Amino acid sequence: MPIATRLRNPLIHLFFVLFAVASLLPFALVFIVSITDEQSIVQHGYSLFPTKINFAAYSFLFNDFAQIARSYGVTVICTFVGTILSVLITALFAYPLSRPGLPLRRTLSFLLFFTMLFSGGMAPWYITYVTMFGMKNTLMSMIVPNLLLSAFNVLLMRSFFANTIPESIVESGTIDGASEWKIFVKLIMPLSAPIVATISLFNLLSYWNDWYNCMLFIDKAGLMNIQYLMTKMLLNVQFLIEKSSSSSNAGELLSKMPTETIRMALAMIGIAPLLVAYPFFQKYYISGITSGAVKG
C-alpha cells in the first residue's frame, strides 16, 4: 500500500481533532476567564492559564439567586412550550404544502414567502399584540410574536416532506383506508425525525436566546427571562463603568465589582444549557438540514 494512502486517514482524523479543539477553545477561554481573579486579568489580560482562580463573578451574580432562578424558569417554560407548539404548527402547515393535490398550493406558498420579504411595521405589530390579543406581561408574549411560526422553517420542512417521504407511503395509507390525519401522525411524522429535530433545534435556540420580546412586552420582574435579565445586568455594569470617572462613589463600587469576569460569567450562564442540549439533536441535524434544503 502506498505511503500516501496509509497516511491519508490519520491526517484526516488529525485535522478534524484539531478543528474540534479549535472550536472548543473559545468556550474554554470564556469559562476560564469567568473564574479568573479580576486583578489578574487587569495585569495579564485574558489567558487559558490564569495565575489566580476567583469565583467572585458568580458570587456577585447569584447574590439575587431567587430572581435568576425565576428567570431561568420562565425561559425554560417558554422554550419548552414554544418549541413544541412551533414544530407542531410548522409540520401542520408544511405537510399540506408538500402534497401536489392541495388546492391553491402555489398561492399559499407565495403568501408564505411574501412574509419573509415584507412586514407590517413595528408599531402596528406591537399594537396588535398588546391591544387586540392582550399579551402585555404574559408568557405568551414571549412565545407567539416573531417566534411561533417561521416561513423559512416551513419551506425547509415542506422540501423534506416532498423530496424524502415516498409518495407510495401516502398511497398505501390511503388504500388501507387511513384518513389524512392518521397518515400524517402514523406514517409521515415517524419518518421525519431528522427534520423535526432540526426545526426543534432552530426553535430552541431562538426561544432560549430571545430577549427582544421580553424587553417590549414585559414590565414585571417576575416574568423576565434569563437573557433579558442578563442584558439588564450587563447594561448596569456598563453604566457604572461610564459613570465611575465622574463619581467617587461609583468608582469605589466599581473597584469592588468583577467587571471583566462578570461579562464572561453572564455568557456561561446563558449558553451552558444549550451546550448540554445540542448533542441530543446532533444525530439528526445534518441529515435534516441537507434533506430539507433540496429544492422541491
Q: Is residue 34 part of a domain?
A: no
Please tell me the distance from the alpha carbon of residue 148 to that of residue 84, in angstroms, as a whole number: 10
Q: Is residue 38 part of a domain?
A: no
For residue 105, the enclosing domain spans: 64-292
**296 residues of the chain, pLDDT tens digit each:** 566 666 777 888 888 889 888 888 888 888 898 888 878 887 878 888 888 888 888 887 788 788 888 998 999 999 999 999 999 999 999 999 988 888 888 898 888 888 888 887 888 899 999 998 999 999 999 999 988 999 999 998 998 898 888 888 888 888 888 888 898 998 899 888 888 988 988 898 899 989 999 999 998 888 999 889 888 887 777 776 666 655 555 555 555 666 778 888 888 888 877 777 777 666 665 555 555 444 44
Please tell me the distance from the alpha carbon of residue 44 to that of residue 57, in angstroms, as a whole number: 18
Of 141, 145, 132, the C-alpha closest to 217 is 141
Total domains in the fold of the chain: 1
Please tell me the distance from the alpha carbon of residue 190 to that of residue 264, in angstroms, as a whole number: 41
CB 196 within 8 A of CB 91: yes
Please tell me the distance from the alpha carbon of residue 196 to that of residue 93, in angstroms, as a whole number: 13
Q: Is residue 157 part of a domain?
A: yes
Quote the DSSP letter at residue 256. T
Q: Is residue 35 part of a domain?
A: no
Residues paired with residue 36 on neighbouring β-strands, in sequence order: 53
Q: Is residue 58 part of a domain?
A: no
Quote the DSSP letter at residue 136. T
Read off the CATH number of the domain in which 193 is found. 1.10.3720.10
Which pLDDT score is estimated for 48?
83
Q: Is residue 153 part of a domain?
A: yes
Q: Is residue 263 part of a domain?
A: yes
Please tell me the distance from the alpha carbon of residue 273 to that of residue 76, in angstroms, as a whole number: 10
Please tell me the distance from the alpha carbon of residue 85 to that of residue 91, in angstroms, as a whole number: 10
Which pLDDT score is estimated for 292?
47
Residue 38 C-alpha from the chain's centroid: 30
Q: Is residue 140 part of a domain?
A: yes
Which pLDDT score is estimated for 93?
92
Please tell me the distance from the alpha carbon of residue 266 to that of residue 218, in angstroms, as a whole number: 21
pTM for the model: 0.80
In the structure grid, which three cell numbers stand for residue 215, read together?
424587553
Please tell me the distance from the alpha carbon of residue 155 to that of residue 294, in angstroms, as a whole number: 10
Please tell me the distance from the alpha carbon of residue 197 to that of residue 193, in angstroms, as a whole number: 6
In the structure grid, which three cell numbers stand for residue 261, read together?
469576569
CB 193 within 8 A of CB 286: no
